[in-house]
Amino acid sequence: PGGPRARGCAGSREVLPTCERYAVRRLPFARLEDRDVAFFERVLPGRVVTSEEEVKPFNVDWLKSVRGCSQLVLKPQTTAEVSQVLRYCHERNLAVNPQGGNTGLVGGSVPVFDEIILSTALMNQIISFDKVSGILVCQAGCVLERLNEYLEQQGFIMPLDLGAKGSCHIGGNVATNAGGLRLLRYGSLRGTVLGLEVVLADGSALDCLTSLRKDNTGYDLKQLFIGSEGTLGVITAVSILCPQKPKAVNLAFLGCQSFAKVLETFTTCRAMLGEILSAYEFMDEKCMDLVERHLKLSCPVTDSPFYVLIETSGSNSTHDEEKLNNFLEQAMASGLVTDGTVATDSKKIKASHLRERITEALTHEGYVYKYDISLPVGKLYDLVTDMRARLGQSAKNVVGYGHLGDGNLHLNITAESYSHSLLDAIEPFVYEWTAGCSGSISAEHGLGFKKKQFIQYSKPREAVVLMQQFKAMLDPKGILNPYKTLPSAP
């Protein structure tokens, strides 16, 4: 079935199609036909991609862990064009996969079957920026790093910073409620996003693109779409509050002999650095080994079981450096830290961002099983230790790093290649362990395709049912990013 345009999903040496690996069944959506492509070409002249080679990169996630079978990529430039596309797809019952920079880690940004890919790559215009309030309004396809570069010229920065900033789109960041390195200082996107423009499944546009910091009229509808992973609507524009660019940025890279020392150092750091503390990251020695071996980067501190990256940002360099030096003196004198280095020069800071390159280094190890967990800070590394003991020699590496300041652990397990038996040893153990500590199975990456069936470990049944009801109300045909985020409704 499917008419003249239908084609099979050929095998790949990189990764099996998601539908085959996970044995998921295609829902009864319509299949793409020539008449559909002809309609899209009229609406989006020159921005309809049908070549198998050109479509291929959009079908595979960044980790090359899941792969869809889409035959078509659409690249709208305006909200009106997104509305036309979704209105047509709703009428035809064609499934749609919204896609930003495709940097997601849970299989939420690529198709499972033959869903039409709706790319925001050309929706990359800055609409406005107010230097007084610091409020930026832009289209959803703006790349995070480009936005930050634009804002720096105005004396501001984005409140969000990610390792994938050179590729990820702000719309995708909002759709997944991405966390990142600056959350400790500036909070989550749920607080900094002031308004959204969203196109619903039936093509109707919802304009909640307010630039007001205070708007207490009725339900805060934008919160429904932040973190909804494109399952409730397609975000087309964002209004976001941006902080002023710090005049003084300092970075310290420290070595600690135990995770208990990492925790004590954080307590001391928070007490002594207070308002200028902007990031507190930790990583274990295995992470550093991989970064040094695969990326040929040198670690400024050697022979430590754990490393800590501290960033301060403020308005007075003399004041900030004095506070940081006082903290370091106390940390060294009390034995919390065994070695360390400080950078105030921006080039040194960039060179020292070893933490951001860990994900890249891990990909050189083969297949990576990635887990993004929120836990009580005191138990953060216990999961890594327990997982190493559980897996033994069946895994190449079990490493842990993350945002200790907000209790976010990134647990990564590597193997030569994908193994179902290894996955069975990891899941659902990792989620049961997390639930036993009243943690969250997804701190900042979302649920996507890979984690949707485990949502019950973090949310009660009543909450899941209510989410399914929201989905049924806003997308009654289920065409928006199907097979993602929520388990199938009963």
Identify the architecture of domain 248-437 in CATH.
Answer: 2-Layer Sandwich (3.30)
pLDDT at 388: 97
The token pair at 269 is: 């750091």
How much of the chain exceeds pLDDT 90, in percent? 77
Q: Do domains 18-119 and 126-241 have the same CATH topology?
A: no
Confidence class for position 11, pLDDT limits 50, 70, 90: very low
pLDDT at 20: 67
Residue 309 CA to residue 350 CA, distance in Å, equals 12
Within 10 Å of residue 93's Cβ, how many Cβ atoms?
A: 14
Sign of the CA dihedral running 359, 101, 162, 487: negative
pLDDT, tens digit, 9 for 90 and up, residues 163-210: 889 999 999 999 999 988 888 889 999 999 999 999 999 999 999 998
Q: What amino acid occupies position 2?
A: G
Average pLDDT, the chain: 91
pLDDT at 49: 97
Identify the architecture of domain 18-119 in CATH.
Answer: 2-Layer Sandwich (3.30)
pLDDT at 198: 98
Task: Over range 421-440, report the average pLDDT.
Answer: 96
Identify the architecture of domain 126-241 in CATH.
Answer: 2-Layer Sandwich (3.30)
Helix (H), strand (E) at residue 430: helix 429-436
Domain coordinates in residue numbering, the chain: 18-119, 126-241, 248-437
What pTM was computed for the model? 0.90
Asked if residues 389 and 122 have their Cβ atoms less than 8 Å apart, the reply is no
Q: What angle do CA 202, 177, 259 make, to 5 degrees?
A: 155
Task: Over range 286-296, report the average pLDDT.
Answer: 91
Q: What angle do CA 284, 260, 360 make, to 5 degrees?
A: 15
Cis omega (within 30 of 0) for bond into 246: no
Residue 163 CA to residue 312 CA, distance in Å, equals 18
The token pair at 230 is: 């494109």
